[in-house]
Structure 1
């Protein structure tokens, strides 16, 4: 086995888990504050499905590196999901519904996919093909999900909604797995990770072009509300005794 096939996946396992645990501090901050603020919960919902899908693909191939790179992420993403879901304001009906529908609908689809594959009596190669195809699709969606706020970034000139640690971890992680995927000739490894690298660079470009507007804008405890048409910062109500 070559250097790339032995060392790169080990590095990839470490980087993948760094990617999945990168949002931990942000999640902890919004939980402490009790307000979602600028934190985007959509990637956490997609991460639940993506990590499960890749853990299953790692078992099917089998590839211990792929499994170890995603199994911890399953637990982390579920914690993020259940922690941030209650913080989505009631005013944000569309956002709450989208986040819930992604997880519930995704899990239902995964059960149907696994059941169909197993009970169809297909070969191990065919099984891995469909699991890899599904995992790759989710992987690309996960890597692209932070761009769901791209319109907000362009409109406001503020990139606070793009979480820098997650974006940097994505670029380095995807680059490593892309090289490893080419080395072992697995299109389901290098394909989505190559796309993820490019999407990560787009996010880096937005973060560079539109820096965050200081501590107040990035503070998850800032007074914000959501509307059905997206995230809209508004001036909080002030009582007669409050200072402006």
Structure 2
């Protein structure tokens, strides 16, 4: 029964995490359509990429015992593809200054992962405990940073009183994924799997609270903006009408 429960939670956790990694597609469709990264930050996606790299490596038999952490490999493998795609799209449409910033962030991130992966593979030989301790500890720190990165967006939401740059699907998927992986980590008694969710779950709740609080303000702001644009159009039409009357007279 316990094994079935772990499997169910793992499948649900995989589904929620894939949805979480796929949620920014809406944002990047907008980036591609407008050919601009606007005020979006690439940092959360770079941290997300690093997180997926570490936990894919953590789940492989090189670090873990055989395939005991196979669910981590599947979901984070998908995450690597998606997060890398987001970073590349961001790089393509960023300004010259933005491109430099992305490159200066991505290169150290990839070097960090490469060094840790090589060290864990060749320094400890078959000592899975030490490998898991090294990779898991670094991965735990990266995951905390990943779940903490929305704090920047939340600050922007509070300052602007707008949820434009904090989409609901992303916040909802983040909350569900952290809750499910917290449960799964506790079931398999792995602190490196459950640990990040101890930070991610409260932050996910906070995002949903902020969304509920400022969603109405965003709707009112959009409606006011629409009314102003309509009024401006009406003024322009009136001016054109007056000009036409004067010409006829």
TM-score normalised over the length of structure 2: 0.79
Identify which of 160, 171, 177 aligns with 1:173. Answer: 177
The residue number in structure 2 matching 1:53 is 54
Higher normalized contact order (CA 8 Å, seq sep 6+, divided by chain length): 1
- Distance apart, 1:9 and its partner CA: 0.5
Which SS does the other structure have where 1:210 is aligned?
helix
Measured at CA, do residues 215 and 68 of structure 1 come closer, stay the same or move farther in structure 2, by a change above 3 Å?
Answer: farther
Which SS does the other structure have where 1:134 is aligned?
helix
**Between structures 1 and 2, the one with greater helix share:** 2
Q: Is the 8 A contact 1:49 1:103 kept in 2?
A: no
Which SS does the other structure have where 2:40 is aligned?
coil
Aligned residues: 214
Within the alignment, does 1:69 sit opposite 2:75 as a pair? yes
* Cα distance in 2, alignment partners of residues 28 and 215 from structure 1: 25
String of CA shifts for 1:21-76, please: whole Å, max 9, x gaps.
11112212211221223433221111111111111011122411111111011011
The residue number in structure 2 matching 1:199 is 203
Q: Is the 8 A contact 2:59 2:72 kept in 1?
A: yes
Q: Is the 8 A contact 2:183 2:194 kept in 1?
A: yes
* Cα distance in 2, alignment partners of residues 67 and 202 from structure 1: 29
Q: Is the 8 A contact 1:40 1:146 kept in 2?
A: no
The residue number in structure 2 matching 1:80 is 86
Matches for 1:148-187 after TM superposition, within 5 Å:
148-187=152-191
Within the alignment, does 1:7 sit opposite 2:11 as a pair? no
The residue number in structure 1 matching 2:218 is 213
- Distance apart, 1:4 and its partner CA: 2.4
Gaps of 5+ in 2: 223-249
The residue number in structure 2 matching 1:223 is none
Q: Is the 8 A contact 1:38 1:160 kept in 2?
A: no
String of CA shifts for 1:163-189, please: whole Å, max 9, x gaps.
221111010011011111111100011
Q: Which has the larger radius of gyration?
A: 2
* Cα distance in 2, alignment partners of residues 101 and 139 from structure 1: 20
